[in-house]
Amino acid sequence: MARTLKLYNSLTRRKEDFQPLEAGRVGLYVCGMTVYDYCHIGHARMLVAFDVVQRWLRARGYQVTYVRNITDIDDKIIRRAVENGETLSSLTGRFIAAMHEDEAALGIQRPDLEPRATQYVPQMLDLVSLLEKNGYAYRSGDGDTLFRVRRFAGYGRLGGKSLDDLRAGERVAVAAGKEDPFDFVLWKAAKPEEPAEACWQGPFGPGRPGWHLECSAMSTRLLGRQFDIHGGGADLQFPHHENEIAQSDAAYFPEGGKSFVRYWLHNGFVQVDGEKMSKSLGNFFTIRDVLKKFDGEVIRFFIVRSHYRSQVNYSDAGLDDARESLLRLYNALSTDWPAAQAQVEGQAGQGAAVSAGAGQAAAAACADGEAARAAVAAIDWSEPRAMRFAEAMDDDFNTPVAVSVLFELATDLNRTRDPAIERQLRGLAAVLGLLGQDPVAVRRNGLRGAAAHEGDLDDNAIQALVDARLAARKARNFAEADAIRQQLAEAGITLEDGPAGTTWRR
């Protein structure tokens, strides 16, 4: 009997059997970045968590439309651009490019669609018009257009709150002209001091969209008025996602009976010394700062080995441990990387059956290219450890258990050197976006960050010294050979002599 994928739905606070609106197809929307600064490790948690979600959905055979938006109009963006004396588009363009660089370093696959808020302002205005028609939107005395929260009967369900429990002004700004302190902005009236680039003309006067409105308009425009999965960080659950539900359902399903999202997924916080990592607290570390110390795959592995809903405590010690663990997996792989690639690709070409619970599963679109896609396609899903891996991933994406399966395979591979086990290890790891690098290069460089390589001898210089040592040994000039070994050791290079010759690693 085919297994059922179970998701923890934040709305109902329980695991539920996943049943997409359309058989075999999944619409997935994730709230992305507000691009006014570099991404931090908290953002990395979200990026990796939902990258794994979409990879598993694809490996399971679903045709996925993955949408992750970019917020490129916002109070913070306007403030930063004015401070810098640059245009909004210059600021956001710069940080979008930086975001994509960070994603690539973490092995994040680009979403199928990456809408920018500024491209969907007409759809946002249409949504406000629907809300006004349905009696949920009104114009305040200061020119803003607001949403009547108390009119929406289900408000607070996602966050587990009621309006009576909430204190006015605690999370929702209280402004003059509101009918109720909980009402939130749909359309912000233009201000004289703001740049013209931040203003659009429309039926609600010159202005710009509210943040909550942006995601409702983009998600429903690209995935339909009702879609399967909406995700994001736990910090967005209230008020952002709560407000999305209110305005979307009030616009599209005013009679009730339906909601625009079926399943809500939220990843846990990254903490530092027991506090949530955030820019507002000043305890955040940018992805690019951490990449100076650690390879991007180490950061990814550090995140993946914890369940996406759990809290993770960030520390260099934790990343050091993740690096050593990841190196153990790499050390199990064949040193003849091209041959291993070819073997996997040949196996995949034979049309290996994938039975992860949804019929014939498609190969996951892995960031590492064709070889990684072939690795996923070559998995023998009837093998007991692959079945355990699939069972774990079907249990609300239980990556810690899935990672433990990788270590079981690595242990067996070290013992047997069986190519079939290596295919399984590489294929299952590719589902998680892992083990896509050349293991020889990984062993040589030790999965270190960019800063750790500053001042390093380059590979050609090291190989030249290794060759010179070999020549000295052949000439029985052992003093010279030992001097070269010592020179390399002082440069942080370890030599390993074996029957096949001398190899080196940093």
**Which residues are part of a known binding site for Zn(2+)?**
31, 215, 240, 244
For the chain, what's the residue count? 506
Separation of alpha carbons 326 and 331, rounded Å: 9
Give the relative orientation of helices 41-59 and 419-431 as an angle to the nearest 10 degrees: 120
Answer for the pair 156, 242: CB distance below 8 angstroms, yes or no.
Answer: yes
Answer for the pair 292, 450: CB distance below 8 angstroms, yes or no.
Answer: yes
Separation of alpha carbons 129 and 357, rounded Å: 43
How far out from the chain centre does Cα 348 lie?
Answer: 27
User: Strand 227-233 vs strand 25-30: parallel, antiparallel, or unpaired?
Assistant: parallel
Nearest to 37 by CA among 314, 282, 304, 297: 282
Separation of alpha carbons 41 and 278, rounded Å: 9
Which residues make up each annotated binding site?
A: 31, 215, 240, 244, 279
Separation of alpha carbons 236 and 240, rounded Å: 5
> DSSP 3-state assignment of 186?
strand
Separation of alpha carbons 446 and 210, rounded Å: 46
Answer for the pair 242, 159: CB distance below 8 angstroms, yes or no.
Answer: yes
Strand order in the sheet with 207-209: 137-139, 145-147, 184-189, 207-209
The residues with which 312 forms a beta bridge, in sequence order, are 270
Whether residue 239 has a cis bond before it, omega within 30° of 0? yes
Nearest to 28 by CA among 262, 202, 189, 186: 262
Answer for the pair 46, 99: CB distance below 8 angstroms, yes or no.
Answer: no
Which residues make up each annotated binding site for ATP?
A: 279
How far out from the chain centre does Cα 133 lie?
Answer: 38
